[in-house]
Amino acid sequence: MKTSFSVCFLPLLAALVWGQDAPQRKSSSLTSRSEVLVSNLYKRVVTLRPVGIPSGADMKALAPYLSKALRHRFDLNNACLVDWRKQNPDPSLKPPVGLIENGVFSGANEEAEPRAFHIERTESEKDGSSRVYVRLTVGDPPNKPLVWYVAAVVVREDGRPVVDDVLYLKGENGEVESRLSKDLSSGCDGPRWVGEAHPH
């Protein structure tokens, strides 16, 4: 009697343990895939150091890591810049549109061209996306490097993870200072330049 109980009970116990462990493994697998994706993207960012909206060979190298929606926002931003130039034909005027002198995956000014990166952590969001936090650095020894943080927003598209947005952070605590998607549409109504909204 004891033997038959053990034979029946052990598979049941294994199924219960396996069933409880499966969601955790799935979540861990998604986290791992998101981190690999972002790591591969930032390897290319550090190598290519694209400034402004990537184009040509840079865009070809980076596009596989980006969502269709983000690539569409890049196209809209480029169209908005063209519209601004039509409205402002004076060649001495500097376009205010988008992120011409910024590193879209890293930040503005000295943050535009990072030399190294490190994946810090990944957090899952309620909407199914995840945020992969990345530490970026620039500077050569013996100088102290400049260190700053971004978070790549990863979503699933066509069954695989892709980067849909980049959050520029104030510090390593994760407070969002600005986001790529918002910066891309600043002053633009889709492909049309409408001007920056200024509070009264």
Show the domains of the chain with their CATH numbers: 2-193 (3.10.450.50)
- Give the pLDDT score at 11: 47
Task: Give ∠ CA 125-98-41 in degrees, rounded to 5.
Answer: 50
CA distances from residue 69 to 72, 125, 155, 173, 179 in whole angstroms, order as listed: 5, 19, 11, 27, 15
Report d(CA 163, CA 129) in Å as an integer.
Answer: 10
- Give the pLDDT score at 75: 95
CB atoms within 10 A of CB 102: 20
- Asked whether the CA dihedral 6, 11, 12, 18 is positive or negative, the reply is positive
- Would you state the torsion angle of the CA atoms of residues 29, 33, 39, 45, taken in this order, to the nearest 10 degrees? -160
Q: Which two tokens stand for residue 26?
A: 């799935």
Q: What is the pLDDT along the chain (200 residues), one digit of tens a residue?
A: 555 544 444 444 444 444 444 444 445 676 789 999 999 999 999 999 999 999 999 999 999 999 999 999 999 999 999 999 999 999 898 887 656 788 999 998 889 999 999 999 999 999 999 999 999 999 877 888 999 999 999 999 999 999 999 999 997 777 899 999 999 999 999 999 998 764 44
Contact 133, 120 (CB under 8 A): yes
- Asked whether the CA dihedral 135, 152, 125, 178 is positive or negative, the reply is positive
The size of the chain, in residues, is: 200
Contact 176, 166 (CB under 8 A): no
> pTM to 2 decimals?
0.81
- Give the pLDDT score at 143: 83
- Give the pLDDT score at 171: 77
- Nearest Cα to 29, choosing from 150, 156, 151? 156
Report d(CA 166, CA 108) in Å as an integer.
Answer: 13
CB atoms within 10 A of CB 174: 15
